[in-house]
Structure 1
Amino acid sequence: MTLVAAVGACAPLQPQSIAPPRHQGLSADRASLTVNHVGSPTPDALADRRPYSTPTFPFLPGEDVSASVSVGNTSRGFIANALPVPPNPALHSMPKAYEREMTYGTRALIDTLQFAAEQVASQRDGALLYLGHIAQDGGGNIKWSVSHNNGRDADLSFYTTNPFGWTVQEPEFLHIGRDLVSREHFGFYRFDVPLNAKLLKALDDYQGSELQYVFVVNHLRRRLMAYLAEDGTDEAQMTRLNLLVRQPGGRTLPHNDHFHVRVYCDPDDLCKGCIDTGKTWDWVEERQSAVEQCAIPIADLALSGEDSDVRADAIRRLGLLDDETQHDLIAAALRDDEVAVRVAAVEALAMANKRAATYEIIAHDAVEEVPEVRCAIARTLGSIHRSYASEHLALMLHDDLSCPEFGQPETTVADATPPLALIVAQALENSESTATVPALIERLSDDRPVVRAVAAASLQKITNRRMRVGETAEALDWGSEQLDPDLQSQAVRAWREWYDDNKGERRSKWLISGFESEGFSIGSLSRDSLPKLVKAIKGPTFISFNAQRSLQRLTGQVPNADLNWTSTEASAFWRHYVHKRRDSASRD
């Protein structure tokens, strides 16, 4: 059955135009700028050192495939065709940001920053805006923040003066107290109220984007707002800035060492899957209805496109739009004749990360016969951190089939492709679902070392322990080709006995017991245990994983959500975080 037959034909319509921001685009031509700086390398130099894999984006026929696109939201998103900050005499990237390759963004954000920096520089000789983190090439999760994922966030240093009143640039982000001087360097640097106020005004003045927030600590915000009012800022702009400029709430650090700027999704990006979260100010046009109109021609392409790959990309685009009005069309694509379209439908439904959509994927797995689609189901369910997704993955762990790379001939031999059990075991690695333990234990008896190794790693992370057997009481190397069958049987039996004895306990008790078994006495999973959990990051892989996840839950901070950093990097971050919170609380 085709998708057209499943949901009916839909007449093509042109998307409703989304109104541009309040202002029109910046006309300044920066192509002739040739200034270089250690913190602001040329784009060519940056291109030579990009270590990140650039995410693919489903551009459709007629679209500019080279355009930068902000996709998803600021904490769960990415950037297609991310742009590096170009050389500019008015702003430079801080050396640390450059070293971390956090100097990429979307066209709208980068132009906003350049415009604002140039406006300030035109009013004060020597004024230089230092940029901290923006995003990495391709965006996505980073090691230092929960946001900065899709190229719409930027950390900006403060403009400062020295004791003689001369404009000088901070060597790094410095904490500014209520007396307006830096806590570091014996108070050498003073917060320049007039210049920082001009920066806020310039950010709001820029004509090519809409500012959503500027985060900064309250005692600096009050000084800035007072200056702007006394400086004759017009009433409409004062109203906007009084709302835009704010200290972040919750457990977020107060931002007494930098500005955090965020812009709304560019109108074009809204039709490509950019999602605004947080407050929509009264002066910003409501856009959801226009996004729904954007979906109509894409839906028509998904229904009636002649090329199956184009139809598949159209389905993915509908998933990125997060438009509930298109849910039925995407779900119907699960029954399409083309494998590529069914795979795209699985991925698009998973993007919604909603219970109903997940259950549709699970239900389809019961009737799907093509390995490529079933393997796509396993991969996507692994990205949905919900118990019902993990429980179905545990059922899939019993299936023995191979996962050919999509597009490969059907004759691909099983040994040349990963088994479904391996894909599922990997997908369960971050699930933290106790219901998956029995199925993972059974896979420890698998005759394929790689399946055993991955199943053991997932099992250890979920239970926060490793099973020691034999005379030396050593943990087994489950990936070894020479694994002793007797020790293997003993370990599997020990795991079963442990689970039978502990399956009625809460996972929090498993975590505490597991920490203690490896020499880390946590006591309880509370904020009082933060320093002890930081020490546990240096433990074995599964201990480090659960220590970091516990720190995230207790603090509300999710740096590097993928945990793809070293234990040394993670330990340094969390030590700094705990110290900074304690230090900040004592100051403010």
Structure 2
Amino acid sequence: MWAQALALIIALDAVGKMAPLPSGITKPAGESMTRAEANELMSEPTGSLSRGWTSSGSLDRSVRVPLRGTGYAFFKHIRGRETYYGTAEMAGFVARVGARLKAAEPDSVVGIGNVSLRKGGRSRWHRSHQTGRDVDIAMFLIDRRGKARNPKDFRSFGPDLKSRDGRGMTFDVARNLSLVLAMIEDMDVGVQWIFCAEYLKQAMLEAARTRGVDDELLKRLGRVLHQPTDALPHDDHFHVRLYCSVEDRLYGCLDRPPLWSWVDRGDAAYEARVSALSRILAHEALDLRVDAVGWLKRIRASPAVPALVALLNSEEEKLARASLGALRAIGDPAAIPGILEALSRAKDLKWASRLFRTLTAFWTHDNLAVATRFLASPQELLHTELHAADHTDFLITSAGLLERFGTLKEAPMLLPLLDNRRRSVQTAAEKALRRITAHSSSPKVASSKGRRHDRAVKWWRKLLTDQEDWHGLLRLGLRRAGHKLGDDLTTSKNVKRLIKAVDDRRAYVSHNAVRLLSSVTGHEVEPYFRSRRALRRHWERWLEQNGDSWKERPPQAPAGIQGAP
């Protein structure tokens, strides 16, 4: 692995993308690292850098993509926006795609839209496009006389492949296929996605089969071409996303799945860098150790989780806090046992509370067991010196974990929290109960006192006592929220009503509408991480594409739903 890693890094150095090869990374594991070597290893690269996620990142030392080149040109309005900056890899990609298409189609000019702002970040035109790895590319078209036309701007096409503006334009399947093939066949970058409408994708796939595209390339086309589930269908342009370059990944560029097997993301170089940074954690200088933790956090170094967990017990408070922050950012559930062990040793209430809150960063049902353990017996998780301490933060965190992962089985554990003297605990417990049951009490527990408060608590107790079927409880909750659902949720009418309920402004209603849809159709969708409107669009498209075919499959209960209808 070391030989392969060094070969990759040396190759990057040779093309001028990387700073001179850090001597610290080439040292055998047993040798100590000097301060100079550590600082060199943690220095910034010299070239462009895509930093973070495409929807929440930035762009350092960006490259201005030339506005015009062989076979391509940016649209005129992009010049005013100044969204023509990207990574060095993106600039090269645009140039090569234009040149390749020009060679195959001499009269064609690829129309380019937004890339990124000079320093990346969010713009008024996009939520993504923040790191110089996204580019919008126009679609080729044919006019009403059958003549091939180059795009002058984005133009929307319907399922019949005709332009929606009524001007008689048609989606040019042949040239658009040549365009996407030029992108996917580019071996100098890794193309993760080419977002476009599903019907445009199918038209190009059919043309690819007719053209005799080989099976492997056809498979890649089928995976890379994709209609997004959390955005508009992209029926007027291709939204192309590149993976992080090997070197950018070493310095904080972050990819989300899927990770295509045919793309070399430089795993060996990444592991070598993580290993070298981890060695700095044993350096005698505190500032270097803290900086190394920061770098491990920046590159989301899962292989370093054991070393970071060990630092939670460090006597250096700054180092322990930095390590906990890194573990939270990395989000690897493998850290949970180590965090719980550190929690059992913690004598300081604030530090113990911070350790416990960090568990919310790990998206795993294992956290449900942690929350229920604490609610049942806090002494099992805390140091003896904290048994009599104020557990408010722990109770709020536990309620939050039950809100995320809890089921009707765990819901009764929240009832005692409704009578907690802290209003913040009552609020957290009530919020979790709403999310689990799809119900809301009136009056609210946390905003009432005396008899009104007692009446609200009694209402929750009765609700949980009377209901044993969680699926039926959710259906009843949505009915009480104003959504007219019949008893048989498998009918097309009720499925459409559930999809409408997904867009309900009340989070607990929207969330449980998604749960019921997943249970009824067998199409499991995670209700977190997307806006309610994006979720509704997803379900509407899914229903449009699948019709009633899902009825042929027996209903399934996704994670968290007990019993199918």
Please tell me the TM-score bracket, short chain as reference: 0.5 to 0.7
Q: Which residue of 2 aligns with 1:519?
A: 482
Q: CA deviation at 1:460?
A: 0.7
1:135-284 mapped onto 2 (5 Å cutoff): 152=133, 156-164=137-145, 165=147, 166-169=149-152, 171-175=154-158, 177=160, 181-182=161-162, 184-185=164-165, 188-193=168-173, 195-200=175-180, 202-203=182-183, 208-212=188-192, 214=194, 217-224=201-208, 241-246=217-222, 259=238, 261-272=240-251, 274-275=254-255, 277-281=258-262, 284=263
Classify 1:326/1:498 alpha carbon distance in 2 versus 1 (closer, same or farther; 3 Å). same
What letter corresponds to residue 244 of structure 1 in structure 2? R
Distance in structure 2 (CA, Å) of the matches to 1:190 and 1:523: 46
What letter corresponds to residue 280 of structure 2 in structure 1? L
What letter corresponds to residue 360 of structure 1 in structure 2? G
Distance in structure 1 (CA, Å) of the matches to 2:280 and 2:77: 46
Classify 1:106/1:561 alpha carbon distance in 2 versus 1 (closer, same or farther; 3 Å). farther
- Long gaps (5+) in structure 1: 1-11, 28-58, 230-237, 401-413, 469-474
Classify 1:87/1:316 alpha carbon distance in 2 versus 1 (closer, same or farther; 3 Å). same
What letter corresponds to residue 513 of structure 1 in structure 2? L
Distance in structure 2 (CA, Å) of the matches to 1:297 and 1:349: 18
Q: Which residue of 2 aligns with 1:492?
A: 457
Distance in structure 1 (CA, Å) of the matches to 2:440 and 2:96: 56
Classify 1:535/1:495 alpha carbon distance in 2 versus 1 (closer, same or farther; 3 Å). same
What letter corresponds to residue 509 of structure 2 in structure 1? I
Distance in structure 1 (CA, Å) of the matches to 2:242 and 2:99: 18
Aligned residue for 2:345, secondary structure, equals coil
Classify 1:156/1:511 alpha carbon distance in 2 versus 1 (closer, same or farther; 3 Å). farther
Distance in structure 1 (CA, Å) of the matches to 2:471 and 2:154: 43
Query: Is residue 105–residue 151 contact of structure 1 (8 Å, CA) maintained in 2?
Result: yes
Distance in structure 2 (CA, Å) of the matches to 1:580 and 1:149: 31
1:548-563 mapped onto 2 (5 Å cutoff): 548-551=514-517, 561-563=528-530
Q: CA deviation at 1:461?
A: 0.9
Distance in structure 1 (CA, Å) of the matches to 2:187 and 2:261: 18
Distance in structure 2 (CA, Å) of the matches to 1:531 and 1:85: 47
Distance in structure 2 (CA, Å) of the matches to 1:261 and 1:358: 36
Q: CA deviation at 1:207?
A: 7.1
Distance in structure 2 (CA, Å) of the matches to 1:13 and 1:187: 59
Q: CA deviation at 1:192?
A: 2.7
Q: Which residue of 1 aligns with 2:109?
A: 127
Q: Which residue of 2 aligns with 1:443?
A: 417
Classify 1:374/1:304 alpha carbon distance in 2 versus 1 (closer, same or farther; 3 Å). same
Q: Which residue of 1 aligns with 2:545?
A: 581
What letter corresponds to residue 490 of structure 1 in structure 2? R
Q: Which residue of 1 aligns with 2:441?
A: 467
Query: Is residue 86–residue 115 contact of structure 2 (8 Å, CA) maintained in 1?
Result: no
| 2:427 is aligned with 1:453 | yes
Query: Is residue 58–residue 130 contact of structure 2 (8 Å, CA) maintained in 1?
Result: no
Q: Which of 357, 368, 376 lines up with 2:335 in the alignment?
A: 357
**CA displacement, residues 218-245 of structure 1 (integer Å, 9 cap, x when unaligned):** 431342576697xxxxxxxx78744532
Aligned residue for 1:376, secondary structure, equals helix
| 2:287 is aligned with 1:340 | no
Distance in structure 2 (CA, Å) of the matches to 1:580 and 1:357: 42
Q: Which of 11, 18, 27 lines up with 2:8 in the alignment?
A: 18
What letter corresponds to residue 460 of structure 2 in structure 1? W
Q: Which residue of 1 aligns with 2:345?
A: 367
**CA displacement, residues 356-395 of structure 1 (integer Å, 9 cap, x when unaligned):** 4323323332222334443433333223233331342355
CA RMSD of aligned residues (A): 5.2
TM (normalized to structure 2)? Answer: 0.67
Distance in structure 1 (CA, Å) of the matches to 2:215 and 2:15: 23
What letter corresponds to residue 298 of structure 1 in structure 2? L
Distance in structure 2 (CA, Å) of the matches to 1:14 and 1:338: 36
TM (normalized to structure 1)? Answer: 0.65
| Structure whose residues are more often helix by fraction | 2
**CA displacement, residues 39-63 of structure 1 (integer Å, 9 cap, x when unaligned):** xxxxxxxxxxxxxxxxxxxx98412
Classify 1:578/1:324 alpha carbon distance in 2 versus 1 (closer, same or farther; 3 Å). closer
Aligned residue for 1:188, secondary structure, equals coil
Distance in structure 1 (CA, Å) of the matches to 2:295 and 2:317: 17
What letter corresponds to residue 519 of structure 1 in structure 2? G
Classify 1:64/1:193 alpha carbon distance in 2 versus 1 (closer, same or farther; 3 Å). same
Query: Is residue 162–residue 168 contact of structure 2 (8 Å, CA) maintained in 1?
Result: yes
Distance in structure 2 (CA, Å) of the matches to 1:493 and 1:102: 58
| 2:259 is aligned with 1:293 | no
Classify 1:457/1:195 alpha carbon distance in 2 versus 1 (closer, same or farther; 3 Å). same
Q: Which of 67, 78, 87 lines up with 1:88 in the alignment?
A: 67
Query: Is residue 461–residue 545 contact of structure 1 (8 Å, CA) maintained in 2?
Result: yes
Query: Is residue 211–residue 263 contact of structure 1 (8 Å, CA) maintained in 2?
Result: yes
Distance in structure 1 (CA, Å) of the matches to 2:491 and 2:330: 32
**CA displacement, residues 425-453 of structure 1 (integer Å, 9 cap, x when unaligned):** 45554334446534433332244444433
Query: Is residue 157–residue 173 contact of structure 1 (8 Å, CA) maintained in 2?
Result: no
Distance in structure 2 (CA, Å) of the matches to 1:243 and 1:149: 29
Distance in structure 2 (CA, Å) of the matches to 1:451 and 1:94: 56
| Equivalent residues, number | 490
Q: Which residue of 2 aligns with 1:380?
A: 358
Distance in structure 2 (CA, Å) of the matches to 1:535 and 1:21: 54
Query: Is residue 303–residue 311 contact of structure 1 (8 Å, CA) maintained in 2?
Result: yes
Classify 1:70/1:446 alpha carbon distance in 2 versus 1 (closer, same or farther; 3 Å). same
Q: CA deviation at 1:174?
A: 1.9
Classify 1:445/1:246 alpha carbon distance in 2 versus 1 (closer, same or farther; 3 Å). same
Q: Which of 444, 459, 472 lines up with 1:476 in the alignment?
A: 444
Q: CA deviation at 1:399?
A: 11
**CA displacement, residues 164-217 of structure 1 (integer Å, 9 cap, x when unaligned):** 42334464442354xxx4263458222334543453354357575233565762
Q: CA deviation at 1:339?
A: 2.8
Classify 1:248/1:214 alpha carbon distance in 2 versus 1 (closer, same or farther; 3 Å). closer
Aligned residue for 1:444, secondary structure, equals helix
Distance in structure 2 (CA, Å) of the matches to 1:509 and 1:435: 14
Q: CA deviation at 1:296?
A: 1.8
Q: Which residue of 2 aligns with 1:545?
A: 511
Classify 1:522/1:69 alpha carbon distance in 2 versus 1 (closer, same or farther; 3 Å). farther
Classify 1:78/1:538 alpha carbon distance in 2 versus 1 (closer, same or farther; 3 Å). closer
Aligned residue for 2:260, secondary structure, equals coil
Classify 1:535/1:355 alpha carbon distance in 2 versus 1 (closer, same or farther; 3 Å). same
Distance in structure 1 (CA, Å) of the matches to 2:515 and 2:464: 22
